[in-house]
Amino acid sequence: MIYTYIRNLSDMNTFKPLTSSQQIPFINVGKAVEPLIDKFGRRFEYLRLSITDVCNFSCQYCLPNGYQCDTPRDFMSTGELNMIVQAFAKMGTKKVRITGGEPSLRNDLTKIIEQTARVPGIEQVAITTNGYKLEKDLQSWVDAGLTSLNVSIDSLDPRQFEQITGDGRLESILKGIDMAVELGLQVKVNAVLLKEFSDTQLSLFFDYVKTNNLTLRFIELMQTGDNEEFFNAQHVSGQSIEDKLVDLGWTKKQKAEWAGPAKVYRHDGYKGRIGLIMPYSKDFCADCNRLRISALGKLHLCLFAEKGIAVRDLVAQSIAQNDPSVLISQIQNLLGQKEATHYLDAGYTGATQHLAMLGG
């Protein structure tokens, strides 16, 4: 039986601050914990935590036929997610990005943000969202401790936006972004570069950044297990945009602490910044600083790793013992298997059928 996602998921916002009996106590690990550094000297202080793989959009490059799955899903509970964040924080993680699928489809998202923000050592809590609940729920996410927000907008033309994503709510998403900027969040807008649209879109995006204090990041389309044909038709390099920025007098910014993979440029005549994520460029993986956990509790050492490695049993054991030591030592051991690079340029996509599985 195929379980097809139905658009009208309950919209209830069930957020209530955690009561003391619901909270997992902060955990002390007896011995000193080594930070996560791999054999290539890369330090991992940034965790991308997927909380669902369900999505209500049908982006052409990701879930062109909408969300489908052939088994019922048992996503990690708030307690399991909290134990994972606590374990990573002990190993030096400072930033957690909550992602999906579409993370705002979970009614307990605000609770997840709140418990993550409360973990000692976690300094930034970010979310990546398609933005469809922004206008309604942003304030509660900020009250819960959200510090940064990534919203995906592949086109600023409502008709093209709908053509790419299958959704007609661009206006509301843009309003939500304005609210986030006003609230002082670090805001990034992600736009996947698609050959068909890039010419018509560039000038609209440049105009948008002129007056909005946010970072617009162009992401090169990545090949995944499911999208080979689309990738071959639509992939376009970000290099010509980078060359254009340099020609127009934009200057490259120093990378912020725990920053993602974008090269970011600024210009005095613009309130916002423009970034480029070019996973096919040379040395893209050299400063990798992030690890990923799927919504089903698998550790992915790379977005395009050969497989996810199940750690959910160890999460359960850690909760039962109120001690994440077993989880910590397993993650530290597994880090030894992390490869130097993703081999995407050789067409290798690992276990990743689409990025909704893991959150990009």
Kindly state the tokens that stand for 46.
Answer: 């940034």
214 belongs to the binding site for ligand SF4 (CB under 6 A): no
Q: Say if residues 63 and 121 touch (Cβ distance below 8 Å).
A: no
| Per-residue contact string for residues 337-356; x = within reach of ligand SF4 by CB under 6 A | -------------------x
Does 55 sit near ligand SF4 (CB under 6 A)?
A: yes
- Chosen from ligand SF4, ligand SAM, none, partner binding at 324 (C-beta under 5 to 8 Å by type): none
Rounded Cα–Cα distance for residues 283 and 260 (Å)? 14
What is the C-alpha separation between 214 and 232, in angstroms, rounded?
A: 31
Residue 51 makes contact with ligand SF4 by CB under 6 A? no
The piece of 117-125, 180-188, 222-230, 322-330 that touches ligand SAM (CB under 6 A) is 222-230
Using the minimum distance from each CB to ligand SAM, give the nearer residue, 142 or 192. Answer: 192
Does 62 sit near ligand SF4 (CB under 6 A)?
A: yes
Smallest distance, Å, CB 353 to ligand SF4?
A: 11
Q: Which of 87, 100, 297, 315 binds ligand SAM (CB under 6 A)?
A: 100
Candidates 60, 185, 202, 63; CA nearest to 134 is 185
> What DSSP letter does each residue of 129-190 carry, written as one string?
E--TTHHHHHHHHHHHT--EEEEE-S-SSHHHHHHHHS---HHHHHHHHHHHHHTT-EEEEE
- Residues 167/130, Cβ–Cβ less than 8 Å: yes
Element holding 198 (H helix, E strand): helix 195-211
The distance of closest approach from Cβ of residue 188 to ligand SF4 in the complex, given in angstroms and rounded to an integer, is 14
Query: Cβ contacts of residue 127 below 8 Å, gap of 6+?
Result: 97, 98, 99, 103, 104, 109, 113, 141, 146, 148, 149, 150
In residues, how long is the chain? 360
Q: Is position 215 an interface residue for ligand SAM (rule: CB under 6 A)?
A: no
Q: How far is the CB of 130 from ligand SAM (least distance, A)?
A: 4
The sign of the torsion formed by the CA atoms of 335, 46, 13, 120 equals positive
Instruction: Find the binding residues for ligand SF4 in span 127-166 (CB under 6 A).
Output: 130, 152, 165
102 near ligand SAM, rule: CB under 6 A: yes
Closest CB to ligand SF4 among 90 and 290? 290
Q: Based on CB atoms, which residue is closest to ligand SF4, 68 or 77?
A: 68
Element housing 356 (H / E): none
Chain residues that interact with ligand SAM, rule: CB under 6 A: 55, 61-62, 99-100, 102, 128-130, 152, 190, 192, 219, 221-222, 224, 227, 355-356, 359-360
Chain residues that interact with ligand SF4, rule: CB under 6 A: 55, 57-59, 62-63, 100-102, 130, 152, 165, 356
